[in-house]
């Protein structure tokens, strides 16, 4: 195997485990921690360090950390005041409480694309460079793959697509839980305004944020979960699945997403009980 091929294979494998939620690695051989704890480690020599003389001068206060609770409260107020999806879009564009707006985003907020009256809402994690440039979610390579899979499942024109955050994270990394928490009131308000029949959640980051679970996406996908608004007034069935960006690195996993899409489509088309 050429060095470049080995590098790509290793990168792909690491991406696979990261998407699966693996964040630790075991040792090659088992270690008896109980027995190891009975042996006191030898004391390490501590060299005496000279104490530096105090330096006169003005003290500089540490920079204050962002007030997350205040930003969430502002987002809740703006979101609840929006009485339409376009008013909600304007509220998001005016909101300055998410740090991503000043860190990763180069141009504009990225809220949604698709039909607001669609029965299926798709939620990803965050916009990338193409989305940041065009102002719409899932318009890059991952979005094009998603569109092809939706078309094959008969879902073209029947989806509303958005993300857990509305500004591009630096380096296209996954959004952090605090960043998702600041944007959550807007996403929840969108669900209340549109009342979709169900949610299709893409990727580990968005699945953990919406379902409030720490399981990896490979454990969550393929089965139905329930999402409930903080007010308790809205409950929606949720089907988590793999992110299309992951499928670009691991094409063999497409069959899992295809199975999840068919399951969602079957429930979507199921006749409602009288």
Beta strands in 69-205 (DSSP E): 113-114, 120-124, 159-163, 198-202
What's residue 107's pLDDT? 73
- CATH for 68-268 is 3.40.470.10
If we measure between CA atoms, which residue out of 72, 119, 58 comes closest to residue 272? 119
- d(CA 168, CA 174) in angstroms, rounded, equals 9
Q: Average of pLDDT values for 145-165?
A: 97
Q: Average of pLDDT values for 120-135?
A: 96
Burial of 119 (0-12, 13-18, 19+ CB in 10 A): middle
Model confidence at 218, in pLDDT bands (50, 70, 90)?
A: very high
- Give strand pairing partners of 201: 123, 240
What's residue 59's pLDDT? 43
Let me know: does 208 contact 245? Beta carbons within 8 Å: no
Is pLDDT of 134 > 80?
yes
Query: Looking up tokens 């379902």, which residue turns up?
Result: 211
Would you tell me how many other CB atoms lie within 10 Å of the CB of residue 112? 22
Q: Average of pLDDT values for 172-182?
A: 95
Let me know: does 201 contact 222? Beta carbons within 8 Å: no
Eight-state DSSP code of residue 54: P
Model confidence at 264, in pLDDT bands (50, 70, 90)?
A: very high
What's residue 271's pLDDT? 83
pLDDT digits (tens, 9 = 90+) for 12-71: 555 555 555 555 555 445 555 555 555 555 554 444 455 455 444 444 333 334 578 999
Tell me, yes or no, if the pTM score tops 0.85: no
- d(CA 165, CA 191) in angstroms, rounded, equals 14
Model confidence at 106, in pLDDT bands (50, 70, 90)?
A: confident
pLDDT digits (tens, 9 = 90+) for 42-59: 554 444 455 455 444 444
Estimate the share of the chain in helix, then strand, then coil, as percent rounded to the nearest 5: 45, 10, 45
What's residue 48's pLDDT? 47
Would you tell me how many other CB atoms lie within 10 Å of the CB of residue 153? 19
Q: Is 205 left (phi over 0), alpha (psi -120 to 50) or beta?
A: alpha
Is pLDDT of 130 > 70?
yes
What's residue 135's pLDDT? 94
Model confidence at 236, in pLDDT bands (50, 70, 90)?
A: very high
The answer for residues whose C-beta is within 8 angstroms of residue 110's C-beta and 6 or more apart is 127, 131, 132, 135, 136, 137, 163, 166, 167, 168
What's residue 60's pLDDT? 38
The domains of the chain are located at: 68-268
């Amino acid at each position: 195997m050429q060095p470049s091929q080995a590098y790509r294979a290793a990168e792909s494998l690491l991406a696979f485990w990261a998407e699966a939620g693996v964040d630790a690695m075991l040792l090659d051989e088992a270690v008896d921690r109980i027995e190891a704890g009975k042996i006191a480690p030898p004391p390490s020599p501590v060299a005496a360090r000279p104490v530096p003389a105090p330096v006169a001068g003005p003290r500089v206060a540490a920079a204050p950390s962002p007030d997350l609770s205040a930003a969430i409260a502002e987002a809740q107020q703006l979101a609840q005041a929006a009485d339409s999806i376009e008013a909600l879009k304007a509220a998001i564009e005016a909101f300055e409480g998410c740090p991503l707006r000043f860190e990763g985003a180069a141009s504009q907020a990225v809220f949604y694309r698709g039909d607001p009256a669609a029965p299926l809402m798709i939620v990803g994690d965050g916009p990338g460079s193409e989305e940041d440039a065009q102002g719409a979610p899932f318009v890059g390579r991952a979005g094009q793959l998603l569109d092809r899979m939706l078309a094959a499942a008969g879902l073209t024109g029947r989806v509303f697509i958005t993300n857990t955050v509305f500004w591009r994270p630096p380096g296209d990394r996954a959004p952090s839980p605090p960043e998702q928490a600041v944007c959550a009131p807007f996403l929840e308000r969108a669900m209340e305004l549109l009342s979709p029949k169900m949610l299709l959640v893409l990727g580990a980051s968005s699945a953990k944020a919406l379902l409030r679970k720490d399981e990896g996406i490979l454990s969550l996908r393929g089965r139905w979960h329930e999402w409930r608004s903080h007010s308790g007034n809205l409950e929606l069935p949720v089907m988590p699945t793999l992110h299309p960006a992951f499928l670009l690195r691991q094409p063999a996993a497409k069959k899992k997403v295809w199975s999840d899409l068919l399951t969602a489509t079957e429930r979507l088309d199921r006749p409602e009980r009288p």
